Amino acid sequence: GYDPADPITERSVGKVPDNYTQFLDKNGLQGARIGVFRHYLDAESGDPEIKALMEQAIVDLQNQGAIIIDPFVIENFDSLTNNIWCNVFQHDVNNYLASLGDKAPHKTLDEIVATGKYAPYIESRLQRALAVSESPEQRDPPCLDLYSSPRNIAFRNAVLYAMDRDRVDAIVYPTWSNPPRKIGDMESPAGDNSQLLSPHTGFPAITVPIGFTNNTLPAGMTFIGRLFTEPDLIKFAYAYEHASQHRHPPQGFE
């Protein structure tokens, strides 16, 4: 919904249903056109167990009546997403601390880092954040919101073009291409596919469980759709979960 502190949410006014539970439809995948984004699924650094789980999930989607478009291709994906990131961590943390006033034990990210009270393995990331001192709007090119940034607009248009070309209702891909890393491991492949397509287009996304690796680590599949198609994504996700029944608590939390 609308949040005055988050101007982007103004676009949602009048587009949010009163109740999303009306879209829980166990037959919601019948006739849905689903594109398989193999750019993530077939990544060289991807884990073979998660790839196998994802391939089975695609079969399960088809068995529930979905029409599978495989492969689904976004032209010039790598070039469009190169340098699309803006590191605004320090800027946002400092603004948040300022909003706390006297309640904030520290006034800036620099002060927090100076305490040394952080996990050593994230030091390089903190230093990268501190190296970016100027405000987002003053950079070259400026860091604008995803509805104003030319880079984000071009990327969003490319994804929309591909979806319209293949007449797909949603795109699917592994949420992570690799199992979770152990704490402190910054070297093995991360495989995090959740930080690009949805955040940099503004498109809604929903993740569902697709099973577990042999060492009982969970794997997931993401559905992503056009702007304000949350009702469709809920239908697709609910139908898949109802049929697959992969969701269960980990050992020790039953």
Please, what are the domains in the chain? Answer: 7-83+144-244 (3.90.1300.10), 89-138 (no CATH)
Lowest mean pLDDT among 8-12, 30-34, 147-151: 8-12
- Model pLDDT for residues 140-199, shown as the tens digit of each residue: 888 898 899 999 999 999 999 999 999 999 999 999 999 888 888 888 888 889 888 999
Distance (Å, whole) CA 254 – CA 252? 6
Residue bearing the bigger pLDDT, 120 or 237: 237
Q: How far is CA 227 from the centre of its chain?
A: 14
Distance in Å from the first CA to the final CA of the chain: 34
Is 80 exceeded by the pLDDT of residue 138? yes
Residue 8 is classified by DSSP as G
Predicted local distance difference test score (pLDDT) of residue 35: 99
pLDDT at 5 exceeding the cut of 90? no
- Tell me the whole-structure pTM to 2 decimals: 0.90
Residues ≥6 apart with Cβ < 8 Å to 77: 39, 158
In percent, the amount of the chain with pLDDT more than 90 equals 71
Backbone conformation region of residue 166, classed left if phi is above 0, alpha if psi is from -120 to 50, else beta: alpha
| CB-CB contact of 91 with 135 (8 Å) | yes
pLDDT band, very low/low/confident/very high, at 92 (cuts 50, 70, 90) = very high
